[in-house]
Structure 1
Amino acid sequence: MERKITIEEHVLYKEDYQMKMLKANSPEGFLKVAGRGMNGSSYYDYDVSGKISMQAMYTRAKLKAEDIRQFMYQFGNVLKETGKYLLDIHCILLEPEYIFYEEGQFFFCYYPPATQDLWEKFHVLTEYMVKVADYEEEECVRLAFLLHKGTMEENYSLEKLIAECGEREEKDMEKPVRKTMIDELLEEKRERTSYYDTEEHDWITEQEMGSSIMRETDNLWIPVKRFLTKHKKTKWGEWDGLHIEEEEL
């Protein structure tokens, strides 16, 4: 069953080139939209079947760093699509209730009657990100405040923020781990305790091997010694039962 949301504007509906462009090309990242007029008002219907709004999504769960990166990357692509099809970027709605998500993809509402400034709206969106961010994830907090702080600058660049947000993780991964003084001292201590005199070690090894060989040699000769002892010939003059008979005088 098709599910849709409708935005009403109290002006006469007039289908301009923007609506014709949206219908003819279906730019990537935008919700399908249909416009109509009734009783002197304009109605814009957006197909949101199978999708969930950003507002509903982050009521149930916290915003993660990967969500921010994914959103910014796709938002950048949507801005490129507006230029490609000669659309007005200020007609992209950035309220959380008008941004939808489905299977790894964010979708935006293009609203032709909009009279707003995209940069101001994006600043408000970053405030929302700060509120719903997962404060147990350090990278998420850093990205949320990075965007919010960036939008507070006069004439900030969206393109620069999108690029910086995407490069942040790569820079952190490439950054070498700096050793502290404590780490260096511990490493030096480990090296001292693990050091030994190789010549002395070799001499001890040789002595142990020599003793082992001697023990093995002694053990080897034990059966031979037993055999010789058992079959040893008696010396001359040594025998049992020696009887000397006295001659009878």
Structure 2
Amino acid sequence: MRQLIRGGKDLGSDNINVRYEHQNNSNYLVIEDEKEYEDYQYKMLRRNKPDHFLKMSMYSVNNKYGIYYDITSKQQVSKFYEYGKMTMDDVKSICINISEIVRIADDYMLDIDHVKIEPKYIYMDVGTKKLYFVYHTNLNSYTFNESLKMLFEFILEHFDHSLDKQCIVKLYEIYQKVLVGDYDPFNLIKMFGMSEKQWDDEKIASQEISEEKREIKREIKREIPTVFPEQILVDKEERQEKSLSQIPIAGALIMFFGLINMFLPDMIPLNIPAMVSFACTGAGAGILFYTFKKKKSYADTVTSVEKEEIPYAIKEEVKDNNLVNKTKNVSDMYDDLCNETMLLSDFIGSARKKKKLKLHLMDDNLIGELDIHTSDEHNIRSIAMNKYPYIIGSLEKMSDVVVNAQVISRMHCCVYHESNQEDIYSIEDLNATNGTYINGERLNNHEKKQLCNGDILKLAAIAFKVEIS
């Protein structure tokens, strides 16, 4: 196993200020310290910009030294998994990303203990699930091993425990390996009993299956359902009656032809044998007899259906006076009981109704026509929340309501309902590039602010009116 460059525990500083800033349509994580950053490792990062490290720039003002980390269009891992549970594929992806950052740090001779793998310092591109890390020498005194333990404690807390029990058992086995240090930082996926190539093949297969499912859904949406005409029995009977009316005409003509040939043969220019004339006469008579019998049975069938009635019985009137008196007493007791019970209408009027939150799209937005939809509704003008937290964004697989506009971030903001206070709703900006505004005031990154009835909530240039009623 390769040896990692490790730092000591005396590198922490108590005078560090961590904050977020928004400048020129970009969002930054700012870490400010009283110590000057003279380490060669920062120069290495700024000059080479290695993959998986957040891009950084440095400043010094009034004996304050700070680093700007560009977190534009990225989500904090600790926040990301507050809104959804973690699966085993998510855990594998995190381990793959950490092993990649370990190898990159080793290639550039960076101290692995200064790569911050605590969830609040890991940022994710939610579209690709690629992770980006903070590199800082003075931020805290945790070693890589300690930080990895903290990360897996976070994973266990946010893991979806409704999954297969084998997955949960496997995850706890991996956690035990992390606790005792039985792992290779360069190849964490090995703890899952697989190689990185196997993981890549598994991921490709999973993507192909997902694409097939999406294609099936698109095909289902394109299909036009065939509506079969309703079949009515009366129409069939009418057609049958019409066909029966044509049969006796043919029978009469055949019989008439046979009789003419038998008794007036001179009227027919052809020489037709008497046997044929006799057969035509018999056939015509048979057809007439069959048709008459068929029409009679059809008429009888219709008549029997029309005459059919549904039998019913009438109960005899109760003559027992004792039973009548008992019933009256029971009725009086029930009336007294109802007088003591509060009517539902009175109860609803006296009870305090729970107020619900709705966001109504305003007409004076700067985007024009908008496509706002959920999994159940399309082209909606008002957003009504059915769960909390409730994410608004442009990425369909991560948002509860999708606002399809280029100015909306993939996870733009999140609405909360305070569980212990019925009518208190708040909104948090999720590192949105174009910002979240309440009554014209922009929220800072991950700042949470209460919503009030009548507020104007603006996501970038799209305005909503807040209704809490």
TM-score band, normalised by shorter chain: 0.5 to 0.7
The partner residue of 1:50 within 73, 84, 87 is: 73
Aligned match of 1:109: 134
Aligned match of 2:32: 8
Give the Cα–Cα distance (whole angstroms) in 1 for the partners of residues 32 and 99 of structure 2. 27
Shift in Å, 1:109: 0.7
Q: 1:144 to 1:43 in 2, by over 3 A?
A: farther
Give the Cα–Cα distance (whole angstroms) in 2 for the partners of residues 49 and 117 of structure 1. 27
Query: What per-residue deviation string (whole Å, max 9, x for no partner) do you get for residues 194-233 of structure 1?
Result: xxxxxxxxxxxxxxxxxxxxxxxxxxxxxxxxxxxxxxxx
Give the Cα–Cα distance (whole angstroms) in 2 for the partners of residues 166 and 52 of structure 1. 29
Aligned match of 1:163: 190
Aligned match of 2:120: 97
**2:178 corresponds to 1:151:** yes
Give the Cα–Cα distance (whole angstroms) in 1 for the partners of residues 193 and 136 of structure 2. 28
Q: 1:106 to 1:166 in 2, by over 3 A?
A: farther
- Number of matched pairs: 171
Amino acid paired to 1:101: M
Give the Cα–Cα distance (whole angstroms) in 1 for the partners of residues 76 and 110 of structure 2. 23
Runs (4+) of structure 1 moved beyond 6 Å? 168-171
Shift in Å, 1:116: 2.7
**2:104 corresponds to 1:60:** no
Q: 1:52 to 1:145 in 2, by over 3 A?
A: same
Q: Which moved more, 1:111-120 or 1:62-71?
A: 111-120
Aligned match of 1:243: none
TM-score normalized by the length of structure 1? 0.62
| Partners of 1:65 and 1:143 within 8 A in 2 | no
Q: Which moved more, 1:135-144 or 1:23-32?
A: 135-144
**2:112 corresponds to 1:85:** no
Query: What per-residue deviation string (whole Å, max 9, x for no partner) do you get for residues 124-160 of structure 1?
Result: 1111100000111236524532332112215654346
Give the Cα–Cα distance (whole angstroms) in 2 for the partners of residues 6 and 166 of structure 1. 39
Q: 1:144 to 1:69 in 2, by over 3 A?
A: same
Question: Matched residue of 2:138: which SS?
Answer: coil
Unaligned 5+ segments in structure 1 are: 174-249
| Partners of 2:99 and 2:187 within 8 A in 1 | no
Amino acid paired to 1:19: Y
Question: Matched residue of 1:124: which SS?
Answer: helix
**2:155 corresponds to 1:132:** no
Give the Cα–Cα distance (whole angstroms) in 2 for the partners of residues 57 and 140 of structure 1. 21
Give the Cα–Cα distance (whole angstroms) in 1 for the partners of residues 158 and 170 of structure 2. 12
Give the Cα–Cα distance (whole angstroms) in 1 for the partners of residues 171 and 34 of structure 2. 36
Bigger relative contact order, structure 1 or 2, given CA contacts below 8 A and separation 6+?
A: 1
Question: Matched residue of 2:136: which SS?
Answer: coil
Give the Cα–Cα distance (whole angstroms) in 1 for the partners of residues 183 and 98 of structure 2. 16
The partner residue of 1:31 within 54, 57, 77 is: 54
Percent sequence identity over aligned pairs? 24
Give the Cα–Cα distance (whole angstroms) in 1 for the partners of residues 91 and 48 of structure 2. 28
Give the Cα–Cα distance (whole angstroms) in 2 for the partners of residues 149 and 46 of structure 1. 33
Give the Cα–Cα distance (whole angstroms) in 1 for the partners of residues 138 and 154 of structure 2. 24
- Which protein shows a greater Rg? 1
Shift in Å, 1:162: 3.0
Aligned match of 1:121: 147
Q: Which moved more, 1:105-114 or 1:93-102?
A: 105-114
Unaligned 5+ segments in structure 2 are: 1-24, 203-469
| Partners of 1:54 and 1:100 within 8 A in 2 | yes
Aligned match of 1:19: 42
